[in-house]
């Protein structure tokens, strides 16, 4: 209550003469945040709400250079003028942006369960099915893990090895401090803060995320993943990832993990930017399994993400692979801007919605360079009352001589109350382009089910097998270990949808 | 919304209101004023409306089109007016409208089975409004342009086919525009009672170069077990603006086929919908659009599978040359409970020139699980290997291109069941192709 008042009495000075405003600004920046900031040993948490003070505070907490703060403030002011998009085929109650905590450093240990005994048994059962090691189970469930946990050393070992090759792989905050020139050069160059409502919000308030820079000619020797970067834990609801592959560099990045993340945050508005220069190659894989809400559709994460890759150089290659099984609502369109000649964009997706989950996802392929190629393969599975929409855009600009696109989106329906939609936009301005789109929607064949069951396979296992077959084209794009887990995950997510 | 163009239409309505047909029939007056209010509420759609993302109506906003006053301008029409447009050797019935008015002198209705009505809607509104009341105000699509048509509807064809009657010959509705800057709002109604059968050709053409606005609506009621085929042939002059809505409501086990052949107009937009409102309906929507120069041709189709056991097929093809732009948006909605739906849709586009553009969006929205739905869309150019093959057999480049283009477009033309129309469309296509004369018509 009290925190809004000072903001209100400050407002009249805005718009007065510039010099005065500038000193006022300085004062504000340097002033200790007066309202509701709590610091204790385990956590730093701001009071709910968002205004410029909150942004200044976030920036200061992160020890950011001035250009970052300016950028955040510009984004925030822009955000204030924007309205939340309503075109996606998802439904949710309005989000109160003043009722969100925008900064919370590593969660207080007291907030989490003390041991696995206190964790929801349903969640534990899922971990068991996925074969997640015990220690990891604790970490995922938010149980305070003691410091001897192996990952710490694992993390540092990898880091040293990567540093030898000149690869920068660190948290976003660290990158801002250690490599401001790289951040300044590339941040917002693919997804500007003006891009959309959630991207603007993210730019204003993002607290952390991953940063990766692979220097020219270097092939990253291992799959990079947030999982190995310990500080990724609880990075919060507004993450920002920036990956740059310099000329001839190759990198494969894994985001998320297969086990369900217990997280009570309601809104996740992340931004991912990929930049591939000449002959560079980036592979970005996601397995998203945020909390989907309960069987009645209560709770769950709103996952509103802007992901975009820029094939800036000739012969560059960006490939997105995603398996989306979690979140109450998923709203994301990993895209590629194929600017460089002969560049290639790929999108492989499996999106599964069960119970009351909703997903509106797809990809945009913007062909600008000559002989650019793109492939979109999207597999949607709807069960229960799930709603699943593919929404995509293939745009062939006038200059995109010889561009080629192939799009295939299939939907599988399990249950008579689910829904599946396809909204592909195709815009072609060059006659040498070849664009193909095909889509199909059907349910699991009775004959396929019967065949499996008469060989003694239970209905549930049979459905899981058939679903995995349906998704095979996408799963095979995932790195090996991920693919195995993703397969199990599909089975688990579909539980209770058959019979 | 452009308030100026909206106010202009409203003022035009006030000017001609009293002279519109049915001015003494209370339900007609009510329907008109409700529709006008609905139009005034939203004005003409703009690019910000998702359904109009690729098609701008700015041309209408810029120009002052005049609604034609009543009277009988058609009586002044020269007797030979329709000669070139009625299909040679077509044995059916022709009902001609000049500048939106029925011209009996040019029309020719042959012998019809008992109870069948083929006539003018304006006439029917004056003489038997009670027969129309159940159908005409039914504006199920709720489009703004549909509302504008209802407010201004002047004349059009009214066809009624009673229970169990089949009209063997096609009924040809011929609309001819002759006046510059006229705003025409033809309204057609086709009612096929249980088990009835009819084929209708709706042709829109101009005499010379006429910059006019046509905003047509055709309503089709296909009752249980009826078979209705509707062929739309839009060949207005390259200055004209053609907006059209064709809406079919289907009863149990009925079969509805729509063909939309669009070759004319500077700006053409066709909204074609079929509502499969009972079990076991079949709907087939076919379309062919040929555009060149700066033509803009847009098809928005929508198939609503509202009940179980329906089948729908959709084949649309476009050939875009010059700096033309083709837009296709095909929506198929399978409503909850519409099990055993089988829906297939395809849209293929051929870009023949550097400056042509295609925007296509096939859409599936499915709320039932026991369904088989597919759609496909392609955009491409003529196949180099096929061209090479033909050239190696001694065909000139232009002829080879024309032959392949012709083959591409024929896929849709072949689906037209009325043979006279099929041959006619074939000729139209060949006339459009460079070196088309060399592509001989099959015997």
Residue of chain B with shortest Cα separation from A408: B376
Q: Mutation target for A interface from B53, B312, B325, B369: give the one with most A CBs within 10 A.
A: B369
Residues B266 and B388 both lie in one domain = no
Contact list in A for residue B367 (CB cut-off 8 A) is 419
pLDDT tens digits for B70-125? 554 545 566 666 666 766 556 678 999 998 889 888 888 888 999 999 999 999 99
Looking at the complex, report in whole angstroms how far the Cα of residue B46 sits from the nearest Cα belonging to chain A.
Answer: 16
Residue B228 lies in a domain: yes
b/e for A373-412, b at 16 or more Cβ within 10 A?
bbbbbbbbbbbbbbbbbbbbbbbbbeebbbbbbbbbbbbb
- Kindly state the DSSP code that residue A230 receives in the 8-state scheme: G
Q: Report the distance separating Cα A9 and Cα A482, nearest Å.
A: 53
Last residue of a domain, one of B209, B244, B278: B278
Residue B344 lies in a domain: no
Q: Report the distance separating Cα B203 and Cα B245, nearest Å.
A: 14
Q: Report the distance separating Cα B149 and Cα B217, nearest Å.
A: 7
CA-based nearest residue to A492, from A463, A471, A470: A463
Q: Residue B205 in contact with residue B264, Cβ under 8 Å?
A: yes
User: Which residues face A441 on adjacent strands?
Assistant: A411, B373
Q: Do B354 and A441 touch (CB under 8 A)?
A: no
Mean pLDDT of chain B: 89
Q: Do A418 and B378 touch (CB under 8 A)?
A: no
Q: Do B377 and A415 touch (CB under 8 A)?
A: no
Q: Indicate the number of domains in chain B.
A: 2
Residue B247 lies in a domain: yes
Q: What is the Rg, in whole angstroms, of the alpha carbon atoms belonging to chain A?
A: 23
Residue B320 lies in a domain: no
User: For chain B, how long is the longest CA-to-CA vector?
Assistant: 70
Q: Residue B101 in contact with residue B154, Cβ under 8 Å?
A: yes
Q: Report the distance separating Cα B127 and Cα B133, nearest Å.
A: 12
CA-based nearest residue to A253, from A206, A322, A193: A322
Q: Is the pLDDT of residue B42 over 90?
A: no
Last residue of a domain, one of B278, B303, B325: B278
Residues B273 and B402 both lie in one domain = no
User: For chain A, how long is the longest CA-to-CA vector?
Assistant: 82
pLDDT tens digits for B365-402? 999 888 999 999 999 999 999 999 999 999 888 889 99
ipTM > 0.90 for the complex: no
Contact list in B for residue A396 (CB cut-off 8 A) is 379
Count CB pairs under 8 A between chains A and B: 110
**For residues A159 and B424, which has the higher predicted lDDT (pLDDT)?**
B424
Angstrom distances, CA of residue B138 to CA of A232, A249, A434, B15: 59, 63, 43, 25
A175 SS3 class: helix
What's the angle, vertex CA A31, arms to CA A26 and CA A37, rounded to 5? 140
pLDDT of residue B89: 57
User: Which residues face A232 on adjacent strands?
Assistant: none
pLDDT of residue B80: 67
- Two tokens at B211? 């910059």
Beta-carbon contacts of B115 under 8 Å, excluding residues fewer than 6 positions away, are: B160, B162, B165
A419 has a chain B CB within 8 A of its CB? yes
Residue of chain A with shortest Cα separation from B361: A425
- Kindly state the DSSP code that residue B370 receives in the 8-state scheme: S
Q: Report the distance separating Cα A460 and Cα A466, nearest Å.
A: 10
Residues of chain A with pLDDT under 70: 1-46, 104-158, 226-236, 256-265, 481, 496-499
Residue B221 lies in a domain: yes
Angstrom distances, CA of residue A467 to CA of A224, A462, B370: 28, 9, 16
Range of the domain at B438: 383-443
Residues B397 and B250 both lie in one domain = no
| Mean pLDDT of the region B289-305 | 96
Q: Do B366 and A428 touch (CB under 8 A)?
A: no
Looking at the complex, report in whole angstroms how far the Cα of residue A499 sits from the nearest Cα belonging to chain B.
Answer: 15
pLDDT tens digits for B425-441? 888 888 888 766 666 65
Q: Residue A405 in contact with residue A338, Cβ under 8 Å?
A: no
pLDDT of residue A261: 58
Residue B10 lies in a domain: yes
Q: Report the distance separating Cα B228 and Cα B225, nearest Å.
A: 10
CA-based nearest residue to B107, from B37, B156, B61, B59: B156
Q: Residue B115 in contact with residue B245, Cβ under 8 Å?
A: no
Q: Report the distance separating Cα A237 and Cα A201, nearest Å.
A: 11
Run of H or E residues at A79: helix A66-80
Q: Residue B117 in contact with residue B159, Cβ under 8 Å?
A: yes
Closest CB to A421: pick one of B354, B366, B368. Answer: B366
How many CA atoms, within 13 angstroms, populate the side-chain half-sphere of residue B14? 7
Residue B35 lies in a domain: yes
pLDDT of residue A150: 36
Report the percent of chain B where pLDDT is more than 70.
Answer: 91
Beta-carbon contacts of B246 under 8 Å, excluding residues fewer than 6 positions away, are: B217, B218, B220, B230, B232, B258, B260, B270, B271, B272, B273
B43 SS3 class: coil
Closest CB to B380: pick one of A417, A423, A435. Answer: A435
Residues B252 and B391 both lie in one domain = no
Last residue of a domain, one of B278, B295, B320: B278
pLDDT of residue A308: 95
Q: Report the distance separating Cα A416 and Cα A359, nearest Å.
A: 17
B3-16 vs B26-42: helix axis angle to the nearest 10?
160
State the Cα torsion B382-B384-B389-B394 to the nearest 10°: 80
pLDDT of residue B424: 82
B7 has a chain A CB within 8 A of its CB? no
- Two tokens at A51? 């205004």
**pTM of the prediction?**
0.84
Residues B94 and B215 both lie in one domain = yes
pLDDT of residue A147: 32
Residue B330 lies in a domain: no
pLDDT band, residue B443 (cuts 50/70/90): very low
Residue of chain A with shortest Cα separation from B330: A423
**Which residue has 């120069």 as its token pair?**
B293
H helices, E strands: number in chain B: 9, 21
Q: Mutation target for B interface from A390, A397, A428: give the one with most B CBs within 10 A.
A: A428
């Amino acid at each position: 209550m009290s925190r809004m008042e000072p903001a209100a009495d400050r407002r009249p000075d805005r718009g007065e003469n510039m010099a005065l405003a500038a000193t006022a600004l300085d004062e504000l920046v340097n002033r200790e945040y007066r309202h509701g900031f709590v610091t204790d040993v385990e956590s730093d948490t701001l009071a709910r709400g968002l205004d410029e003070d909150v942004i200044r505070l976030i920036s200061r907490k992160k020890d950011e250079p001035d250009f970052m703060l300016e950028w955040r403030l510009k984004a925030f002011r822009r955000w204030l003028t924007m309205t939340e998009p309503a075109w996606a085929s998802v439904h949710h109650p309005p989000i109160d942006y003043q009722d969100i905590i925008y900064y919370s450093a590593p969660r207080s240990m007291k907030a989490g369960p003390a041991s696995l005994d206190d964790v929801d048994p349903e969640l534990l059962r899922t971990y068991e099915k996925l074969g997640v090691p015990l220690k990891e189970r604790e970490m995922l469930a938010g149980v305070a893990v003691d410091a001897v946990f192996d990952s710490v050393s694992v993390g540092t070992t990898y880091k040293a090895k990567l540093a030898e090759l000149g690869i920068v792989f660190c948290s976003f905050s660290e990158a801002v401090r250690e490599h401001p020139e790289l951040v300044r050069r590339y941040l917002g160059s693919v997804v500007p803060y003006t891009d959309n409502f959630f991207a603007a919000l993210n730019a204003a308030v993002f607290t952390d995320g991953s940063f990766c820079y692979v220097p020219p000619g270097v092939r990253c020797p291992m799959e990079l993943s947030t999982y190995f970067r310990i500080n990724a834990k609880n990075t919060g609801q507004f993450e920002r990832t920036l990956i740059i592959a310099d000329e001839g560099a190759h990198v494969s990045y894994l985001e998320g993990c297969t086990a369900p993340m217990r997280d009570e945050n309601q809104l996740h508005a992340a931004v991912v930017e990929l930049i591939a220069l000449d002959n560079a190659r980036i592979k970005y894989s996601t397995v998203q399994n945020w909390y989907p809400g309960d069987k009645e559709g209560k709770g769950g994460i709103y996952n509103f993400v802007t992901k975009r890759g820029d094939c800036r150089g000739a012969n560059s290659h960006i490939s997105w692979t995603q398996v989306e099984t979690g979140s109450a609502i998923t709203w994301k369109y990993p895209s590629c801007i194929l600017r460089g000649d002969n560049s290639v964009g790929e999108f492989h997706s499996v999106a599964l919605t069960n119970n009351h989950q909703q997903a509106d996802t797809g990809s945009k392929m913007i062909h600008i360079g000559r002989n650019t190629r793109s492939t979109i393969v999207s597999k949607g599975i709807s069960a229960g009352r799930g709603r699943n929409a593919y929404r995509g855009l293939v745009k062939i600009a006038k200059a995109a001589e010889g561009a080629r696109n192939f799009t295939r989106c299939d939907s599988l329906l399990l249950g008579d109350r689910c829904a599946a939609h396809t909204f592909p936009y195709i815009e072609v301005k060059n006659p040498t382009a070849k664009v193909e789109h095909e889509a199909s929607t059907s349910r699991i064949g009775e004959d396929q089910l019967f065949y499996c069951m008469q060989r003694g396979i239970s209905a549930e296992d049979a459905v899981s097998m058939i679903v995995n077959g349906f998704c095979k084209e996408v799963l095979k794009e995932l790195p090996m270990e991920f693919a195995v887990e993703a397969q199990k995950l599909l089975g688990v997510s579909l539980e209770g949808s058959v019979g | 919304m452009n308030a100026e163009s909206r106010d202009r239409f409203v003022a035009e309505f006030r000017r001609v209101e009293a002279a519109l047909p049915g001015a003494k029939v209370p339900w007609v007056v009510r329907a008109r004023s409700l529709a006008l209010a609905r139009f005034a509420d939203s004005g003409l759609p703009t690019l910000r409306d998702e359904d109009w993302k690729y098609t701008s109506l700015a041309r209408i906003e810029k120009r002052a089109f005049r609604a034609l006053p009543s009277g009988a301008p058609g009586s002044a029409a020269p007797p030979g007016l329709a000669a070139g447009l009625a299909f040679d050797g077509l044995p059916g019935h022709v009902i001609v409208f000049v500048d939106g008015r029925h011209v009996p002198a040019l029309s020719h209705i042959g012998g019809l089975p008992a109870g069948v009505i083929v006539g003018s809607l304006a006439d029917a509104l004056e003489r038997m409004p009670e027969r129309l009341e159940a159908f005409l105000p039914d504006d199920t699509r709720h489009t703004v342009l549909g509302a504008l048509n209802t407010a201004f509807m002047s004349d059009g064809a009214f066809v009624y086919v009673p229970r169990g009657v089949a009209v063997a010959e096609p009924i040809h509705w011929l609309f001819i525009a002759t006046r510059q800057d006229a705003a025409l709002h033809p309204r057609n109604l086709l009612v096929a009672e249980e088990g009835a059968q009819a084929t209708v050709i709706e042709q829109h053409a101009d005499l010379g170069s006429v910059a006019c606005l046509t905003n047509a609506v055709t309503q089709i009621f296909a009752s249980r077990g009826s078979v209705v085929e509707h062929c739309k042939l839009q060949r207005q002059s390259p200055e004209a603006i053609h907006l059209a809505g064709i809406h079919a409501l289907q009863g149990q086990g009925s079969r509805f086929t729509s063909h939309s052949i669009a070759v004319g107009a500077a700006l053409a937009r066709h909204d074609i919908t079929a509502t499969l409102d009972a079990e076991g309906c079949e709907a087939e929507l076919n379309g062919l659009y040929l555009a060149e120069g700066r033509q803009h041709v847009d098809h928005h189709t929508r198939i609503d599978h509202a009940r179980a056991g329906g089948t729908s097929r959709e084949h649309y093809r476009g050939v875009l040359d010059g700096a033309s732009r083709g837009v296709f948006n095909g929506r198929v909605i399978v409503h909850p409970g519409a099990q055993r739906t089988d829906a297939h849709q395809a849209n293929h586009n051929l870009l023949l020139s550097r400056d042509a553009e295609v925007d296509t969006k096939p859409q599936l929205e499915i709320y039932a699980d026991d369904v088989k739905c597919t759609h496909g869309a392609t955009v491409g150019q003529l196949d180099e290997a096929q061209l090479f093959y033909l050239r190696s057999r001694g065909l000139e480049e232009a002829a080879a291109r024309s032959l392949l283009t012709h083959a591409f477009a024929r896929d849709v033309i072949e689906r037209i069941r009325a043979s006279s129309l099929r041959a006619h469309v074939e000729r139209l296509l060949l006339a459009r192709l460079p070196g088309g004369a060399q592509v001989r018509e099959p015997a």
